[in-house]
Structure 1
Amino acid sequence: MTRYRILSWNVNGLRAIAGKEILDNKLFQDFLIHDNPDICGLQETKVDAKSLPPGLGRIGGYFFYLNPAERKGYSGVALYSRREPEEISYGFGHDEFDHEGRTIVARYPEFTLYTIYFPNGGASEERLAFKLRFYDAFLNHVKERSAAGEKIVICGDVNTAHTSIDLARPKENENVSGFLPVERRWLDELVQAGYIDTFRLFESEGGHYTWWDYKTKARSRNVGWRIDYFFVNELMRNNVEASLIRSDVMGSDHCPVELVLSF
């Protein structure tokens, strides 16, 4: 049997998190070695190859891939992998979005993994429109890949809470980007297209979140949002062994999420 344990984490700056205690007094590099996931996808890395902290591109035993945004100190995704992917690509073929460094696609023998930092729509109407265009283009892309028979795993910060149990205060946030009806409808469409929110295979209750506002010290009160996900297509349903929220892991305003697959 082949088994993959995959982490996905919005680190809110790889340089910032590199010097923070993550878990059990371990800094990021030691945490990754000790936790030892097969794959770790990071979002909102905010670094390019020149600004990457020393040593973070050469953590023992991991292949490392980085997709920075053209704009410095903004967006960006990265991937650590114990197993060398058969193929790596950056972006999903749309120039409008790919210059922001939001996607790494890693093809393994058993599945294709998308590590994605979806846009935030809160800054302006223009950015909300950009987010929705990104959503639609990506959904069309993965629909095509599923139709072609690929096994697909999608992980990352989707920047939207799907239902009222996915955030602590739904009523107060119903007109806020991240919980707007138009954003939530896209997640409905993703599910209708055959993509499974893996956490909900194991947990049907609320109170489980992946992001907490720093300014209001919301994490200590667990006033949060679940906006970080693992989705798999129907071809992968029987390969899902576990799907977890790692709320014990500190260092960012997000915590990691974890998926375990067996083949």
Structure 2
Amino acid sequence: MKLISWNVNGLRAIVQKDFLNQFKDLDADFFCLQEIKLQEGQIDLEFDGYTSYWNYADKKGYSGTAIYTKYDPTKVIYGIGIDEHDSEGRVITLEYDDYFIVTCYTPNSQSELKRIDYRLRWERDFQAYIRSLNSAKPVILCGDLNVAHKDIDLKNPDNNRSSAGFSDEERSQFTAFLQSGFIDTFRYFYPDQEEIYSWWNYRFGARKRNAGWRIDYFIVSKPLEDKLVDAKIHTNYTGSDHCPVELQIDL
């Protein structure tokens, strides 16, 4: 089974940049999108063989997530059940007989860590939500988690110690989450792979210089370890400031 996750940074915009062909070329069983930046009725985008699920932010042109899937879930959950977090359309959960699939667009702490207090509350509550799912059956979590975990996960770690997405607080929370029973699938397969990133700042020619960050993930519950096949980061796919990431798993 093949899963793709992609922060498209505006679905209507990326559709004008060959997204339809890219979607078909990637040919995933599950195609999870973050930062769709639209409201219900603003796009009519369906693909043969897929059912789609959408979670829109209350604020227009902001945040939002979607999942296209070839397999009908037994249940769909929008958000994590906490009003403070659920107005921004950041989470969709699909439940199946033997596992959950969750896509997430994690809030950014913003410049000078202006939103760090909220971000840390989000992490506490979101991780509690994932652990509650995991107590029932294994979880496959994907999305733009807005954190580069280790020095190897961004081009210039020394210059970004206090930057959003690489603060000590965000990284330590991510470490604790993994240690509670989850696997970062890309690092599982490629623990020492350098200079592979999933996001590049639009400014300063960052993508041409490959001055990027790895902040897009597939995270799985440890009981799924023996079912993992491969993980990929598709750096050649353009149209967004992020690129697609992939998980292959035998479910």
Q: Provide the TM-score with structure 2 as the length reference.
A: 0.96
Following superposition, the deviation at residue 33 of structure 1 comes to 2.2
Instruction: Give the alignment of 1:27-38 within 5 angstroms.
Output: 27-38=18-29
For residues 126 and 70 of structure 1, the distance between their equivalents in structure 2, rounded to whole angstroms, comes to 21
Matching of residue 186 in structure 1 with residue 186 in structure 2: no
For residues 146 and 96 of structure 1, the distance between their equivalents in structure 2, rounded to whole angstroms, comes to 23
2:226 corresponding residue in structure 1: 238
For residues 212 and 34 of structure 2, the distance between their equivalents in structure 1, rounded to whole angstroms, comes to 18
Following superposition, the deviation at residue 188 of structure 1 comes to 0.7
For residues 214 and 233 of structure 1, the distance between their equivalents in structure 2, rounded to whole angstroms, comes to 33
For residues 243 and 63 of structure 2, the distance between their equivalents in structure 1, rounded to whole angstroms, comes to 17
For structure 1, the 5+ residue unaligned runs are 21-26
The residue type equivalent to 1:13 in the other structure is: G
Q: CA 1:124–1:75 in 2, change beyond 3 Å: closer, same or farther? A: farther
Query: Which piece of structure 1 moves more, 151-160 or 136-145?
Result: 136-145
Runs of 4+ residues deviating >3 angstroms? 123-126
Following superposition, the deviation at residue 66 of structure 1 comes to 0.8
* Root mean square deviation, CA, Å: 1.2
Q: Which of 35, 38, 41 does residue 47 from structure 1 map onto?
A: 38
Tell me if the contact between 1:33 and 1:60 (Cα under 8 Å) persists in the aligned partners.
no
2:163 corresponding residue in structure 1: 176
Indicate the percent of aligned positions where both proteins have the same amino acid: 40
For residues 112 and 61 of structure 1, the distance between their equivalents in structure 2, rounded to whole angstroms, comes to 20
For structure 2, the 5+ residue unaligned runs are none
The residue type equivalent to 1:197 in the other structure is: D
Query: Which digits, 9 at most, give the CA deviation of each residue in 1:52-79, with x for residues without a partner?
Result: 2x3x1x2111101110100000000001
Following superposition, the deviation at residue 124 of structure 1 comes to 6.0
Query: Which digits, 9 at most, give the CA deviation of each residue in 1:72-105, with x for residues without a partner?
Result: 0000000110111121110011111011100000
1:19 corresponding residue in structure 2: 16
The residue type equivalent to 1:48 in the other structure is: Q
The residue type equivalent to 1:34 in the other structure is: D
For residues 24 and 130 of structure 2, the distance between their equivalents in structure 1, rounded to whole angstroms, comes to 32
For residues 125 and 170 of structure 1, the distance between their equivalents in structure 2, rounded to whole angstroms, comes to 16
Following superposition, the deviation at residue 126 of structure 1 comes to 4.9
The residue type equivalent to 2:4 in the other structure is: L
Query: Which digits, 9 at most, give the CA deviation of each residue in 1:155-184, with x for residues without a partner?
Result: 000111000000000000011111000000
